Amino acid sequence: MKYTTSMNIEIAKEERLAQIFSALGEPNRIKIIKILRDSKRELTCSEISNLLQIAPSTVSYHFKALRKAGLTKTRQEAQTKYLSLNKKTFKKYLPGFLDSL
CB 35 within 8 A of CB 78: no
Q: What does 75 bind: a copy of itself, DNA, none (CB cut-off 5 to 8 Å by kind)? A: none
When binding is defined by CB under 7 A, the residue of 45, 66, 69, 85 that contacts DNA is 45
The 43-44 sheet, strands edge to edge: 43-44, 80-85, 72-77
44 binds DNA (CB under 7 A): yes
Residue 86 is inside which H or E element, if any? none
Q: Which residues contact DNA by CB under 7 A?
A: 22, 25-26, 28-29, 44-47, 54-58, 60-65, 74, 78-82
